[in-house]
Amino acid sequence: MERLLDLALSAILLAGLYATMAYGLGLIYGTLRVVNLAHGGVIMAGAYLGWTLHEGFGVDPYLTIPVVAVAAFGLGVLMYQLLVRRLPRGPAGGPASLLLLFGVWLVLRNIAYLIFTGNDQTIRTAYSSRSLAILGSHVSVNRLVVLGIAVVIAVAMHVLLKHTQLGRAIRAVAQNADSCTLVGIDVNRIYTLTFGIGSALAGVAGVLLATLFSFSPNAGASELLKSFVVVVLGGLGSVFGISVAALIVATAEVFAILILPSYLTTAVGFLLLVLVLILRPGGLFGYRVLS
Amino acid sequence: MSLRPPPVIPRTAGIVFAAACVALGVVPVVLDLSAYAHNQLTFLFITIAGALAWNWMGGFVGQISFGHAAMFGIGAFVAGRVSLNLHLPVPLSWLAGAVVAGVFAIGAHPLLKLRGPYFSIATIGVGEAARVVFTYWEGFTGGSSGLSLPIDGDLKYQLYWWALGFAALVAAASVVIRRSSFGLKLLAIKADADAAADVGISAPFYQDLVFVLSGAVVGLSGALYASFQSFIEPADMFGFDRSIGFVLTAVIGGVGTALGPVLGAIVFVVVKLYLLDSHPELHLGLYGMLLILVILFEPLGLAGLFRRVVRRLRPARGGGS
């Protein structure tokens, strides 16, 4: 029983990270209908930037978040303006945008190799090993902070999308870009900002990831997959949906320890992805699924 | 109603192709190639076959797979196990590898209902799951210590012609598929699966068929590669970088064209030869850049570039495109 409670707690703590990873992918896909295959690469880049600021300048990893967010926002804007904007929209651009952003991921990976080598890195702070007792189980302070930040980001996303002019414009463009031009929304500007915001979220997720787990330039594939499962499960309409989906995915992963041998738990995320894609009928219709 | 796709490749190309195969067939005997060159060409043929088979799925049907390493690895390890444990002749073990890889591809049937990015990302999932499972299945793959496949020197030398014949067959099959009504159906599915269904082309059936064929051929190339290397390791054979390799060779060469992947494979092997040894840290980024340039400026890759050059050199024959 106590073990179950432990597992449930760690699932909740993990869900915050997963939700933060997924918002960016979902936002970009929902608005531009482009799956950002470079998502995992941006997460990895965010992790490295946070790590560099921490190691090189002694900044607390959580205080690097604003810097990383701005840098990743810039990267996203560049990716859109230089590359994605040049592709045809709609189904014709589908495979092209996948491959293009996949190329960006490879380049990001290679840059990280060149600068940081292929070694695993972790962010360690004075409070990394500290833990609090909650309901009789020990919870690492780091994980709590990550969950707290994830909640703040969720609330900020909700406010942005539902209660600001920009958010309304983003949602309008997601619904029908052509009509938006008619009412005077600069669709290209919205796309650019969306790509920037989505990348900024991925960068922040990278910092959160780096405070909990070790990472290397190879990181990104499983982050991309998990984000995608969460987005497919949760839909794009609401921050709430994505948060719930993140909790489901984290729970499935954490509780798999009970039934599967430990080495197979890494495969759970991948299997879950395939199952979700196959079983969720909406997934059968490709592009239309999340509209 | 007879619909004929426009001739993708001029008739003379058939003769050139046959001549090239014969020339490559006699080169080792006539020129007395070094063992090094002999091996690199063998590797090139295996790479060509794999890239062409990926292109059947990724180019002809338009379903980009990031998980072909699963079939590559399965072909390799099944072939290895069959020749090690059952002591069957090596060529038979290759065939076993191809069959099992094809059967595994049938298992992907539920995935094929997915289209576009959903399919692509699901294949990353399948590929990674296969990597994890096979890396830990030590009884079958040898785990992290891998599998050594004793291969006698004669066969290792003959592998050149096996691989050449294999690559030539797959290339011929690519052209035939591209120019047949079967290829047209695949094109229709690629353009719009729903509309294809309206005119009686069942996307699930044809995709299954192509995926099984593609998987079996990639499995066979994995099996040949296993004999070529005589040592295989699951983390490498099932690795994400292998899956990426298929995508890169085919797309840089010319996704969806009949023979573009051949060009892509040549570039891939040459880059591997000259860059991977001297600057191993650069090669992924270089491919990434190439991929970006191809998508932005020449979606048909090297094949498109080649076609453009040919057209410019022969303006008199222009007109029909």
pLDDT in tens, B64-111: 899 899 999 999 999 988 888 888 888 888 899 999 999 998 887 777
Most confident of A187-201, B7-21, B267-281: A187-201
Distance to chain B for A126, nearest Cα, Å: 34
A105: chain B residues, CB-CB within 8 Å: 288
DSSP bridge pairs for B88: none
Closest residue to B285, CB basis, from A96, A110, A267: A110
Q: Per residue of chain A (291 residues), give pLDDT as tens.
A: 677 888 888 889 899 999 999 999 989 988 888 889 899 999 999 999 999 999 888 888 899 999 999 999 999 999 999 998 888 766 556 778 888 999 999 999 999 988 998 888 888 887 777 877 777 777 888 888 899 999 999 999 989 988 999 998 998 888 888 888 888 888 899 999 999 999 999 999 999 999 988 898 888 888 888 888 888 887 766 788 888 889 988 988 888 888 877 777 777 777 777 777 777 644 333 333 333
Chain B: which residues have CB within 8 Å of chain A?
Answer: 62, 64, 66, 110-111, 113-118, 120-122, 124-126, 128-129, 132-133, 136, 192, 240, 244, 247, 251, 255, 281-282, 284-292, 295-296, 299
A56-83: burial string, b at 16+ Cβ within 10 Å, e else? eeeeebbebbeebbebbbebbbebbeeb
Phi, psi at A220, each rounded to 5°: 135, -40
Q: How is residue A260 annotated by DSSP? A: S
B299: chain A residues, CB-CB within 8 Å: 96
pLDDT in tens, B281-305: 777 888 889 889 988 888 888 888 8
Which chain B residue lies closest to A85 (C-alpha atoms)? Answer: B296
Please identify among residues 170-189 of chain A the ones whose CB lies closer than 8 Å to any CB of chain B: none
The DSSP code sequence of A204-241 is HHHHHHHHHS-B-TTTTHHHHHHHHHHHHHH-SS-HHH
Query: Is A291 an 8 Å CB contact of chain B?
Result: no
Distance to chain A for B295, nearest Cα, Å: 6
How far is residue A218's CA from residue A119's CA, in Å, rounded to a whole number? 10
How far is residue A39's CA from residue B42's CA, in Å, rounded to a whole number? 37
What is the token pair recorded at B177?
Answer: 């598929």
Which ranges of chain A does DSSP label H, i.e. alpha helix?
2-32, 39-57, 65-78, 93-116, 141-163, 165-175, 177-182, 187-212, 221-234, 239-259, 265-279
Domain ranges of chain A: 2-117+126-290
Closest C-alpha among B101, B121, B119, B74 to residue B238 = B74
3-state secondary structure of A134: strand
A232: chain B residues, CB-CB within 8 Å: 118
What is the token pair recorded at A105?
Answer: 């991921």
Residues 6+ apart with CB under 8 A from B201: B185, B188, B189
Q: What is the mean pLDDT of residues B107-117?
A: 76
Domain ranges of chain B: 12-309
What is the token pair recorded at A279?
Answer: 């079983």
Please identify among residues 20-79 of chain A the ones whose CB lies closer than 8 Å to any CB of chain B: 29, 35, 37
- Answer CATH for A2-117+126-290 from 3.40.50, 2.40.50, 1.10.3470, 1.10.760: 1.10.3470
Query: What is the separation of C-alpha A137 from the centre of its chain, rounded to a whole number of angstroms?
Result: 28
What is residue B6's predicted lDDT score, i.e. its pLDDT?
54
pLDDT in tens, A43-54: 999 999 999 999
A102: chain B residues, CB-CB within 8 Å: 66, 247, 288, 291
Which ranges of chain B does DSSP label H, i.e. alpha helix?
11-31, 35-55, 69-85, 90-106, 109-112, 117-136, 138-141, 153-179, 181-191, 193-198, 203-229, 234-237, 240-254, 260-271, 283-297, 301-313
